């Protein structure tokens, strides 16, 4: 199993470019199942999760081709298998996003239940509730969700009990082919919902209100193909900015997306760092001021994303003073705490949702283990700061969500290499 070896203590310096958004790519790939013509996608990041979704689409019978510029075309007209197997859904929860599209287009689908996961139980009740309201019959047997709608889906009034990104996306996709109008209330506002709606609209869907709590979809008989370029990954951008702040470096990220990182950039300024934005570039200079400990509370968009909680904790570990980190989205999302402590951090869990951090003068390299995707990036930030060598094990978690990470960090001056074993 590969691991990353990092020699820390070098400030990140230089320029990099944001990759396409993983969390936008996955629902958009699932949405290709709705289109009766090929969908051409550019700027998909080269990541394990994207490969898993492409494998799933291929397993369902879709034809996938890659052009010389690494654009991907998905033609789902040849889909014949309507079962998403355990082996693929287990690898990646987002596989569950094929449920709505397959049901809406073919009237029947079987998708393995995602099961437990490192950051909490993560139920799918809201996904199922939305589809049931649209007329689906849902049974759960042998670990699979079996959904049918022999006469097709009907538009419905769907009020989500909790704000869920994936639930909103599944409902939105299903509604595009339902008969009549669907209104999704208490919808997630996340940019990845907005991007999905934008792409669906290019396929011919009639959607209004994405990015607000109420999304209205007028269903249509069929969707066509489109060409779509995936927008930058706000979590990747946030991770690199936080890494630059933690190492007291100075970086500039091109093809970034300042407009969807407002809360994150405001936090970085609260830590004491200079942030400058232009239309698609974000620069951060942490060379002149030491970081000030800053409380973090994760929130649904437009708040500070839970996917940056672990990275902000790593920054607080090396900031001056005390901070409190409150995780409001997921239970059990503090798996990184014990590993950061191995690097010399002073973090205490007050309860399942609250961590108290006392900034320390230095971290020291140690062997650590990645437990989930974003937890592993916080260990990487700790490793970039720590004196001496840190070995990060189980980096397949990092490879799920960060494209060419050692190459990108290497270009910013980090001493980082991947080794086997
Ligand atoms: C997506 C992101 C993930 C991010 C999360 C929150 C992708 C592929 N993943 O995950 O990186 O951390 O949004 O921004 O885009 N919930 C229920 N019932 C449901 C669905 C969710 O109770 O049916 C709860 C979850 O347990 C969690 C909260 O709602 O506590 C938010 O989860 P959700 O927004 O659905 O996360 P994902 O879409 O799985």
- What is the arithmetic mean of pLDDT over 407-421? 95
Q: What is this structure's pTM?
A: 0.97
How far is the centre of ligand 1, averaged over its atoms, from the C-alpha of 362 (Å)?
Answer: 34
Do 117 and 167 touch, CB atoms closer than 8 A?
A: no
> Which residue's CA lies nearest to atom 4 of ligand 1?
307
Atom 8 of ligand 1, nearest CA residue: 23
Question: Which residues carry out catalysis?
Answer: 117
Query: What is the 97 CA–ligand 1 centroid distance (Å)?
Result: 12
Closest residue by Cα to residue 200 from 51, 213, 178, 186: 178
Point out the ligand 1 atom lying closest to the alpha carbon of residue 122. 26
Banded model confidence at residue 114, pLDDT cuts 50, 70, 90: confident
- Listed in order, strand segments (DSSP E) in 270-407 are 274-277, 282-285, 296-297, 322-326, 346-351, 354-358, 367-369, 389-393
Residues touching ligand 1 (Cβ under 6 Å) are 23, 26, 93-94, 120, 122-127, 162, 164-167, 188, 192, 305-307, 329-330
Atom of ligand 1 nearest to the CA of 165: 34
Taking only the tens place, the pLDDT of each residue in 179-237 is: 999 999 999 999 999 999 999 999 999 999 999 999 999 999 899 999 999 999 999 99
Task: Give the tens place of pLDDT for each residue, 123-137.
Answer: 899 999 999 999 999
Q: From atom 1 of ligand 1, which residue's Cα is the shortest distance away?
A: 165
- Cα radius of gyration (the chain): 21
Task: Write the pLDDT tens digit of every residue in 364-394.
Answer: 999 999 888 888 999 999 999 999 999 999 8
Atom of ligand 1 nearest to the CA of 331: 30
Residue for token pair 């500039």: 252
Diameter over CA atoms, the chain: 65
């Amino acid at each position: 199993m590969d691991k990353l070896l990092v020699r820390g203590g070098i400030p990140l310096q230089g320029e990099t470019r944001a990759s396409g958004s993983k969390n936008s790519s996955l629902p958009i790939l699932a949405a290709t199942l709705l289109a009766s013509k090929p969908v051409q996608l550019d700027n998909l990041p080269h990541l394990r999760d994207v490969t898993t979704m492409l494998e799933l689409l291929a397993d369902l019978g879709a034809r996938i081709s890659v052009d010389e510029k690494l654009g991907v075309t998905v033609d789902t007209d040849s889909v014949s298998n309507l079962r998403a197997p355990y082996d693929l859904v287990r690898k990646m929860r987002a596989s569950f996003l094929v449920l709505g599209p397959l049901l809406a287009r073919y009237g029947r689908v079987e998708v393995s239940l995602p099961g437990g996961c490192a950051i909490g139980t993560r139920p799918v009740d809201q996904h199922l509730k939305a589809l049931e309201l649209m007329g689906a019959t849902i049974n759960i047997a042998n670990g699979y969700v079996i959904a049918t709608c022999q006469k097709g889906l009907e538009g419905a009034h769907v009020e989500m009990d909790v704000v869920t990104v994936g639930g909103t996306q599944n409902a939105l996709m299903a509604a595009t082919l339902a008969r009549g109008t669907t209104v999704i209330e208490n919808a997630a506002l996340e940019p990845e919902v907005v991007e999905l709606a934008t792409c669906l609209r290019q396929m011919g869907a009639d959607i209004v209100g994405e990015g607000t709590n109420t999304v209205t979809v007028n269903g249509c008989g069929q969707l066509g193909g489109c060409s779509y370029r995936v927008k930058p990954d706000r979590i990747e951008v946030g991770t690199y900015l936080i890494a630059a702040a933690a190492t007291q470096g100075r970086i500039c990220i091109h093809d970034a997306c300042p407009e969807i990182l407002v809360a994150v950039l405001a936090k970085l300024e609260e830590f004491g760092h200079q942030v400058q934005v232009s239309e698609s570039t974000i620069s951060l200079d942490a060379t002149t001021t030491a970081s000030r400990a800053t409380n973090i509370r994760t929130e649904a968009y437009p708040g500070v994303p839970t996917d940056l909680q672990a990275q902000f904790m790593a920054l607080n570990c090396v900031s001056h003073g005390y901070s409190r980190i409150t995780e409001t989205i997921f239970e059990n999302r503090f798996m990184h705490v014990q590993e950061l402590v191995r690097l010399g951090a002073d973090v205490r869990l007050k309860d399942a949702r609250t961590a108290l951090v006392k900034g320390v003068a230095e971290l020291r390299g140690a062997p650590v283990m990645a437990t989930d995707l974003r937890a592993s990036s916080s260990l990487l930030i700790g490793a970039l700061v720590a004196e001496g060598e840190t070995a990060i094990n189980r980096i397949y978690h990092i490879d799920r969500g960060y494209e060419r990470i050692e190459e990108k960090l290497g270009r910013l001056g980090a001493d980082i290499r991947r080794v086997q074993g």
